[in-house]
Amino acid sequence: ARIVVLVSGSGSNLQALLDAAADPAYGARVVAVGADRDGIAGLDRARAAGVPTFVDRVSDYPTRDDWDAALTAHVAEHEPDLVVSAGFLKLVGAHFLAAFGDRYINTHNALLPAFPGIHGPRDALAYGVKLAGATLFFVDAGVDTGPIVAQVAVPVLTDDTEETLTERIKEAERAQLVEYVGRLVREGWTITGRKVSIP
């Protein structure tokens, strides 16, 4: 199967997928990595693995809708079976969802529906929850609202800082992403309303 990964930052989730995909038995290949900005480690990781990259900056297009159309076209060129948002910090629009809405997944560093948005671990810590974690879900038009594929929980420890909790979540998050991307591409999936089934 062909996977396109979208990144905006360090790309540790991307790296986990690249490492897993090095084994042909994994069943998926990262065929391209796209970003919304230059100069990020995620793009370096792709290049180091010999994977083609592309960058679409919102500021390079007259409107957000034009950016969304361009991003959609660039992803489509690589004919992905699955598109993975791994720390991609942009909400895609109607073009993208029309093309990839049933095969675009995102990993979020909180146990949704709690703590959506860009500060999941910080918000969880501030709330005082005792379990935090990560959620893998199919992206819809909302912010972190789509049908859930899988969740993994980690404990919040009494002396946690935002940094230590974030790291604990990210370790579990990477393992979950690798496991479920592999299962999705090898076994397929159906989405019925909010219910995701992997046969």
Active site residues: 108
Residue 59 in marked binding region = no
Match 């997944």 to its residue by tokens.
Answer: 105
Give 10 or 151: the residue with its C-beta nearer to ligand GRF.
Answer: 10
- Name the token pair of 118: 């860009």
- Smallest distance from ligand GRF to CB 108, Å: 5
Q: Is 9 in the site for ligand GRF (CB under 6 A)?
A: yes
**In the complex with ligand GRF, which residue's Cβ is closer, 89 or 126?**
89
Find the shortest distance in angstroms from Cβ 166 to ligand GRF. Answer: 7
Our CB check for ligand GRF shows the closer of 105 and 196 to be 105
Check whether 12 is labelled as a binding-site residue: yes
d(CA 144, CA 136) in angstroms, rounded, equals: 10
Cα–Cα distance, 110 to 144 (Å, whole number)? 10
Is the distance from CB of 100 to CB of 129 less than 8 angstroms? no
Task: Give whole-number Cα distances, 165 to 121, 123, 137, 156, in Å.
Answer: 7, 11, 21, 7
Residues annotated within a binding site: 11-13, 64, 89-92, 106
